[in-house]
Structure 1
Amino acid sequence: MTDNSNLDELVKQNQEALDAHTREHVQWHFNPETGSPYWLEKAKSFDFDPLTDVNCFEDLNKFPLFEDDELRGGPVDRWIPKALRGKPTYVFETGGTTGIPKSRVVIDDFRIDYENFSDTLPDESFPKGANWLMLGPSGPRRLRLAVEHLAQYRGGISFCVDLDPRWVVKLIKKGKIDEVKEYSAHVIDQAMTILSAGHEIKCMFTTPKLLEALAMRLMDEGSSIEEAGIKGIFCGGTEFTQQWYRFAREELLGENVYITPTYGNTLMGLACGRPFDPADNYKITYYAPQPRAVIRVVDFDDHTKVVGYGETGRVKLFTMTKELFIPGFLERDEGEREVPHMKYPWDGVSGVRPFHEIAASTTVGVY
C-alpha cells in the first residue's frame, strides 16, 4: 500500500468513528434521562427530532447555528446533563471585557482534553516528571487549571503567574499604552522570579507576545530561554503567525528549544499543530481533537457548505463531549481548508486569523 492509500483508509475509519461518536452524543444530550435542561428545552423548537433524525455527522447541519450569547448569564446548571448532576463542577469564562461574560460548566473535559494533547508531545522536549511554567491568563479561565493538570499528568508541578487580560484590554481601549507596558513587565517579572528560584522548570505554556517579552528580558540579562532551562514550549494565541513562527525558532529560541503551535478556546479544547516540516516554510496547520471537537472551513455565505481544499472560509466549530454539545458555531476566525495528515487523518485549517468582517474591532491584549 502507498502512503496515500494508508491515509485514505485512516480518513475513512475516522469518518466512521466520527459518525458513531455523533450518534452516541446526540442520544446522550437529547435523552430525557441523561440530557441537559438547556438542550431538552431547545429541542421543542426544532422541526426535527434529534433522537431519530441525526444518524451521522453531516446530520448536524439540521441544527440551527449555535449562538454563543446563549452562554451569557445563569443559571449555568441548565447546561449540566442530568446524568452528571452532583459531580464537582467548574465554571470557566471567556470574553467579558464588557457585559456579562460567557461561561462554560466543566466537570472533567479539561482534564481529558489535555491528557489527549499530552499524547502528542515529544517526551525528549517535554520530559516526563519535569516542572512547568504557566505564563498566560489566570483567573476564571480554563487554561490555568488545564496546564496545571497537564503538568501533573506528566508527573510534574506547574508554577503560575497572575495575569488579568481584561484589565489590559481596558487599558488599551483607554489608550494607556505605557500602563500596558508596565503590566506586561509586571507579568514578566513574575516569570523571571519563578525561573530564578531553582524549581528546575523545563516546560512552558505561553503566548507569542509573552514569549517574546520573556526572551527579550532574558537576553537583556545575558541569558536565553535555553539557558533558563526550558526545553519545550507549547504556545497559542492569535499572534502566532507564520512569520512569527520563523522569528521564534530562528531568533528567540535557537535549535535546542522545541515549540509547537496550538489553537484552542473554552468551547473546543486544544487543536494541535501539524508536525514541523522545513519544507512547509513555517506554515501552521491546525487539527482539532476529533471526535470530541471538529472544525470545518465553511463558505462565508453558506455555513452548511465546506469550501474546497486550499480555499478560504470561516471556521465552524462542533463540540461533542458528554459534558457539552455544540452542533455548529461560527468562530471569529477564518483560514484555509487543509488536507488530512497521517498523524491527524481529518481536515485541518491553516492561516488562522480574525474573520475579516470583524477583524478591525478585535482588541489584542498583553497575551
Structure 2
Amino acid sequence: MTASSDPAVGAKAAQEALDAHTVETVAWHFHESTGCPFWLEKRGELKFDPLTEIRCFEDLNKFPDFEDEWLRGGPVRRWVPKGLADKPVYVFETGGTTGVPKSRIAIDDFRTDYSLFSETLPDKYFPKGANWLMLGPSGPRRLRLAVEHLAQERGGICFCIDLDPRWVVKLIKKGWMEHLEEYKKHCIDQAITILGAGHDIKCMFGTPKLIESLCLGLEEKGSSLPETGITGIFSGGTEFTPQWTKFCVEELFGGPPEESGVYMTPTYGNTLMGLACSEPVTKENGYKITYHAPQPRAVVQVVDFDETDRVVGYGETGRAKLTTLTKEFFVPGFLERDEGEREPPSDKYPWDGISGVRPFSRLAEGTTVGVY
C-alpha cells in the first residue's frame, strides 16, 4: 500500500486495510469449502464463531494465544487449506535442535514476501541482474529458497553455502568451541571460495555473526568485503544491535555506503511471519534499528509481558506478539521468543514498529542463539 503524506490519514487507511484483510483471511480459513483442516477442527473448541464474530483485527484477541506445540508433528497436511489443496506444497522447519521441530506449510508466501521486500532495496547497491551469495542456514529452512527467489526476482542467480544451524547449537551446548570454530571456518571458506571464483556476485544475505566472520576471514587473506565486489547486504538475526551495526559499518566495511560502497539493511523475520523491513540505519540516528512488519500480511505487536492482549505504550518494552494473515497460513497471537520497544508509525510504514529486538529476557538463559 502507498503511505499518505499525512501520518494520521496513512495510519487510519492502514488500520482499515488490516481490519478488512483480517475478516477476509479468517473467513477463508474457517469456511467449510476453503478452510484449513486444523482450524475447522479447532472451531468447535472456540467460545465464539470466527465467521460472524471477527469483524476487525482487534477481535483476534478472542482467540487463545497460539501454542508452539500445535506446529510440532503431523500430519502436516492439516495445515493446507482446502482452497489450496491442489497446489504444490513446501514444508519449512524452525527449531529442532531437541525434539520435534516446528513446521509450517508454504506455497507462494515466501515468494510474495521476498518480492515485496525486493521493492524496498536500492538498485544502486543491489543492482538488477547481479548475482547473490546466500550465507546462512540451508536444509529444511525457508530462508534458502526465499533468498534464491529474491535473487531471481532481481534478475540474478543465487550461490548458496551448506550450513546446518542445529549442529552449531549442539556444539555450543556441548561446549565444543574448538569444533564450533572449525565448522564456522568451514562455512566461511565456502563463501570465500565462491566470492573468488569470478561469478560477479554483488549482493548477499548473511546473519550478523557470519558477516563478521566473513569480513575477518577476508582480512586474514589480505582482502576485504568491498574488494570482493559486494555492494549490497541484507541481513537478519537477534544479534543485530546498534553497537554491532556501528562496528560493522565503521570497522569492517570501511565506512557508510557513500564511502565504502557497501550498503547493509537489517531485517527481522522468521518462518511464520515473513520479513519485517527496517527504517534506514545511519550514524545520524545512532544506528537505531526499527522494524515494521509487512502489514496486512503479518502484524507484530509489542505486548505486556503478563497481560499479552495489552499493547504497551510507545517507547515501552514488551514481548513481540506475531499474527500471520495469509491464505496459506493463519496464526493469531503467537508469542515470540523476543522482546523490544514499541515504535510509532513512520511515513513509509504507517503502522507500529519494534526496535531493540533481543531474546525475551525471561527465556534468554535457556536460549542458544547459534549462527543468528
Say if 2:345 is the partner of 1:351.
Answer: no
**Counterpart AA for 1:288:** A
Say if 2:333 is the partner of 1:328.
Answer: yes
The SS at the match of 2:61 is helix
Q: How does 1:230-249 map to 2 (within 5 A)?
A: 230-249=230-249
The SS at the match of 2:229 is coil
- Distance of 2:243 and 2:55 partners within structure 1: 42
Which residue of the partner structure matches residue 44 of structure 1? 44
Q: How does 1:103-142 map to 2 (within 5 A)?
A: 103-142=103-142
**Counterpart AA for 1:283:** K
Say if 2:160 is the partner of 1:155.
Answer: no
Shift of 1:251: 0.7
- Distance of 2:261 and 2:128 partners within structure 1: 18
Range moving further from structure 2, 136-145 or 165-174: 165-174
CA contact (8 A) 1:180 1:366 kept: no
Superposed CA deviations along residues 53-108 of structure 1, whole A, max 9, x for unmatched, are 00000000010100121000110000000000021110100000011111001000
CA contact (8 A) 1:334 1:352 kept: yes
The SS at the match of 1:280 is coil
The SS at the match of 1:227 is helix
CA contact (8 A) 2:4 2:347 kept: no
Superposed CA deviations along residues 22-47 of structure 1, whole A, max 9, x for unmatched, are 01101101101000100000010011
Which residue of the partner structure matches residue 92 of structure 2? 92
Which residue of the partner structure matches residue 76 of structure 1? 76
The SS at the match of 1:346 is coil
Which residue of the partner structure matches residue 364 of structure 1? 369
- Distance of 2:5 and 2:73 partners within structure 1: 49
Q: Which runs of 5+ in 1 are unaligned?
A: none
Which residue of the partner structure matches residue 182 of structure 2? 182
Say if 2:62 is the partner of 1:62.
Answer: yes
Shift of 1:277: 4.1
Say if 2:267 is the partner of 1:259.
Answer: no
**Counterpart AA for 2:367:** T
The SS at the match of 1:29 is helix
- Distance of 2:29 and 2:364 partners within structure 1: 34
TM-score (norm 2): 0.97
Q: 1:297 aligns with which of 302, 307, 310?
A: 302
Which residue of the partner structure matches residue 288 of structure 2? 283
Give RMSD over aligned pairs.
Answer: 1.1
CA contact (8 A) 1:318 1:327 kept: yes
The SS at the match of 2:225 is coil
- Distance of 2:219 and 2:47 partners within structure 1: 61
**Counterpart AA for 1:361:** G
Range moving further from structure 2, 38-47 or 246-255: 246-255
Which residue of the partner structure matches residue 273 of structure 1? 278
- Distance of 2:5 and 2:237 partners within structure 1: 35
The SS at the match of 2:51 is helix
Superposed CA deviations along residues 133-187 of structure 1, whole A, max 9, x for unmatched, are 0000000000000000000000000000000011111111111000000000000
**Counterpart AA for 1:91:** V
TM-score (norm 1): 0.98
Q: Quote the sequence identity (%).
A: 70
The SS at the match of 1:170 is helix
Shift of 1:280: 1.4
Distance 1:296 1:182, change over 3 A: same
Say if 2:311 is the partner of 1:313.
Answer: no
**Counterpart AA for 2:99:** G
- Distance of 2:71 and 2:190 partners within structure 1: 33
- Distance of 2:38 and 2:208 partners within structure 1: 37
**Counterpart AA for 2:226:** E
- Distance of 1:352 and 1:338 partners within structure 2: 12
